[in-house]
Structure 1
Amino acid sequence: MTSGSTTATSPWFVRPPSTDHPARIFCFPYAGSGASAFSAWPAEIDDVEVCPVQFPGRENRLAEPHYDTYENLAASLTGPLAPRLDRPFAFFGHCAGALPAFETVVRLAALGLPLPACLFVSGQPAPHDAASDRMLTMTEDDLRAELESVIRGRGIEPRPDMVDLGMVVLLRDLAAAREYRRAEPVKVPCPIVVLHWRDDPDVSIDQLAGWRRYADSVDTHVVDGSHHDFMNAPDELRKLLTSWR
């Protein structure tokens, strides 16, 4: 065992929890991706431990069944998550990852478990507006081109086998997104911070306004960059993600 960590491991997290940090931020990946979406992030931001969440059905959990719905995902995550809620924490969800992050907060509240000090939602319309996501109406050819573009944006030349595997994950994730519907907003008992990326071609700041109905305290911040620039953990984003401390 290394100093500063416990021996507890879980497939839901890429590394054991540290005991050296007074706070944690749990990071939820977007549709078609896994915890590696945060591979360029530091292991800590100031004194906050960065904890990427690994969903089943991708990357090192590829052989496991897909989570099927966001509600199932939240229900399955709650148990492994609970032992790690022993200190102040926040949630960060980018794009479609903001929706299971939100559902996990709803689940924690229903079970009387500790709640995040803040829920950060990045580049994703509110649950009752989620059906407007442009990817839900894209053809498979368009999705493949989108996936290749994202891979190239990470400095990797996409091989056909890599894209084929990515498409399997993406199509399953989008099927879950199509199933997700909340006709009416449900308030969560924690503040929500909505992040809009200034150069985001897909989601406008007006499309994020629906989040105002999901908590008593909702703030919106405009961050420099485009939709996928969160993966580089820019300084402006880091400062916002630790502002609740």
Structure 2
Amino acid sequence: MTVWLPREPSRVAAGRVFCIPQAGYGSGVYAAWPAQRDGVEFLPVELPGRMTRFGEAMPESFALLVRDLAFALAPYLDVPYAFFGHCWSAHVAYEATARIEAVGGPPAARLFVSSQVAPQDGPYGRMLDMTDADLTRELEETVRAQGNTPYPDLVALYLRVLRGDVELARRYVVPEPVRVACPITAIGWSGDTEVGPGLMTGWPACGDTTFTVFDGPHLRFAEAPPELLDTLSRLHVTSP
């Protein structure tokens, strides 16, 4: 078992999708997701600095982050696998996929990226220009939208996480992306006002890409919509 995974991977899984939380979140963002679908298990990833790893510092770059992540996940790449990343974490998913290929590990069956511009089209996102006060309000609104109370102490903790993630994204500059060997599924959301589907057109520079758009706003993925889970569980299908 590794600190990067909140639960032990199944020994009988037909495939694995490693699900990386977006900026400011821990693995709990996938709480509504089932453990598996059609034999493919969904494994939330716990990043440093949040949830059970609050005491750990995030690395200074995506490259350093995925170096450690790829090493930790190596024992679990023995079945067809994929990374899923949403918004900020789509770039983590892409870099992890490229890193494993670069070091000679088993190549991914597919890369799933949701609500994010291609690496060479960033840094992009409204949070890049936000002050700490702006980010605090953003966190409070998100907590309220989830039906919870934004307690100041908890908001302050997550502000630290979110600020670190935003700054990491600001430093992520990719003039020429590496093309990954596995196919890419780029997922947009019809009601997304953060990163609309029309901003995702650069992903073919990173690998052979299929585009799909699902109904819903930016954060609908957290609700575990069945059409998304069906797509993720078909690792070897050419198009969703």
TM range (shorter): over 0.9
**Any unmatched runs of 5+ in structure 2?**
none
Distance 2:136 2:66 in 1: 28
State the SS of the aligned residue for 2:29: helix
Distance 1:72 1:63 in 2: 18
Equivalent position of 2:180 in the other structure: 188
Distance 1:103 1:50 in 2: 19
Structure 1 contact 17–84 (Cα < 8 Å) conserved: yes
Q: Which runs of 4+ in 1 moved over 6 A?
A: none
Distance 1:189 1:31 in 2: 26
**Any unmatched runs of 5+ in structure 1?**
1-8
Give 1:195 deviation, angstroms.
0.5
State the SS of the aligned residue for 1:80: helix
Equivalent position of 1:54 in the other structure: 46
Equivalent position of 1:30 in the other structure: 22
Equivalent position of 2:109 in the other structure: 117
Question: How many pairs does the alignment contain?
Answer: 236
Distance 1:82 1:173 in 2: 24
- Of 203, 223, 228, 1:237 maps to 228
- Of 61, 66, 69, 1:69 maps to 61
State the SS of the aligned residue for 2:18: strand
RMSD: 1.1
1:198-237 matched pairs, under 5 angstroms: 198-215=190-207, 217-237=208-228
State the SS of the aligned residue for 2:216: coil
Equivalent position of 2:167 in the other structure: 175
Structure 1 length-normalised TM: 0.93
Distance 1:173 1:86 in 2: 30
State the SS of the aligned residue for 2:123: helix
Give 1:244 deviation, angstroms.
2.3
Distance 1:129 1:147 in 2: 26
Give 1:185 deviation, angstroms.
2.2
Distance 2:144 2:232 in 1: 26
Structure 2 length-normalised TM: 0.95
Give 1:132 deviation, angstroms.
2.0
Equivalent position of 1:197 in the other structure: 189
Give 1:130 deviation, angstroms.
2.2
Q: Aligned AA for 2:165?
A: D
State the SS of the aligned residue for 1:82: helix
Residue identity over aligned pairs, in percent, reads: 42
Distance 1:53 1:164 in 2: 22
Structure 2 contact 24–158 (Cα < 8 Å) conserved: yes
Structure 1 contact 57–67 (Cα < 8 Å) conserved: no
